[in-house]
Structure 1
């Protein structure tokens, strides 16, 4: 699937991103929630769909898209699957707004056909978590960075081993609107990070949680895991399951 993105309304700066294959894990019980899950740099949707299918969440439908293959500055321009171009993995690096907007819009398009009574959410790992958190800001503002409308009503966002893009300007942008503040305060966000993460440093995850909290995201939980590197463990996924069951009001099968 391709998605056209343009910055500032200019037709000349239009880029077409070719997204890879999307893998869907159907609910085993009554469908109550749909969550798009975003992989990390160089990965693909299929590797996470296998893990998510094994979780004890029979009422959740998982959508696992694959990012476009594109040159990544972090790897010296070597192409790999990436939701956006990462120059450095930190909240201080320049933000690839065009890539982030295209990925956020792609995720919203995947969620838009879901029935009105289904709770919807976005989660991800590493750069996927960064994209999920960027989508959270699109949700509260009602639009992405390129001012295209963001019409999906999120019920939760989960970020594992990630960080918040565009963190430097977030607080000032939120304070200008009571509606934005209300949306931020009511959106449940779970952030998880390992203390020994050698790819996305623990400090970046912790700082992102502080920035979100101070900007008005009041329904935020930050979980740290001693000794955990840049990967996930059963304890962390158990916390994700508990979070989703509680915040989305999931019942049994």
Structure 2
């Protein structure tokens, strides 16, 4: 199932604002009892359809998957050529300049998708590459209780999964959380699962590993980091099996089975 999302967000600074419209959203309905909803975010240049086809095959009958498509926008790393992207990026690393407005807008779009889910359903966010970076930004917003722009973060997240990604705004995280007791309280028990291939030639393994260390030292104590020898910038069955096991355990799901 898929549907068009006609909402648009403004991006830019000062008096200049660029409006981008999010693309088509694909939904994979649960095959069993609906116990959790997870928004899954694709990587740079991809779309929600490709991941919805992968997620539909996972042995997680109690999860509803929502797979949105990022806006098409000029991307600095492509010399300004338009591509689907959750935020602008000049280089793929945690040391790149942060497009905080783009990150906040995409995190708000994800929160909006989760806002209409039933109250008894647990909510999560996952992603690959740039989608993973956006998911990790959402995790820090949840722990802080607000977006980078100060607006209230409205969703009570239960888990975040990040595959082959990096942590945006890592250089300013300590300053943002300084003196925040709410952050420490929320972050300490919040489940985070990061996976990264040691052979990744797109988002270097060191960025994923350093992101895990930064999040852990910031207060995310319930964090698991899994590395895979020889894995490049893609997924493998071993990785998706571990994601399934982790989600089942941390979301308290029933009905999980390995094929």
Same fold (TM over 0.5): yes
Structure 2: segments with no counterpart, 5+ residues? 1-5
**Distance in structure 2 (CA, Å) of the matches to 1:63 and 1:70:** 22
Residue 41 (structure 1) aligned with residue 35 (structure 2): no
Does the 8 A contact of 1:83 with 1:99 survive in 2?
Answer: yes
Matches within 5 A, 1:189-228: 189-228=192-231
Provide the TM-score with structure 2 as the length reference: 0.94
C-alpha separation in 1, matches of 2:18 and 2:84: 16
CA–CA distance in structure 2, aligned partners of residues 83 and 201 of structure 1: 19
Q: TM-score, normalised by structure 1?
A: 0.96
Residue 15 of structure 1: how far off its partner (Å):
3.2
- Per the TM alignment, residue 7 of structure 1 is displaced from its structure 2 partner at its CA by 7.0
Unaligned runs of 5+ in 1: none
> Alignment partner of 1:24: what SS?
strand
SS in 2 for 1:108: helix
RMSD: 1.3
Displacement after TM superposition at 1:173 (Å): 2.1
Give distance in 2, aligned partners of 1:120 and 1:13.
34
Residue 240 in 1 paired to residue 208 in 2?
Answer: no
CA contact (8 A) 2:12 2:18 kept: no
* 1:122-151 Cα deviation digits (max 9, x unpaired): 000000000000011111111111122110
Q: 2:191 is matched with which residue: 181, 185, 188?
A: 188
Whole-Å Cα distance in 2 between the matches of residues 233 and 66 of structure 1? 22
**Which digits, 9 at most, give the CA deviation of each residue in 1:203-226, with x for residues without a partner?**
000000000000000000000000
2:253 to 233, 241, 250: 250
SS in 1 for 2:200: coil
Aligned residues: 251
**SS of 1:124's equivalent?**
strand
Runs of 4+ in 1 over 3 A off after TM superposition: 5-8
Which residue, 3, 7, 14 being the options, matches 1:2?
Answer: 7
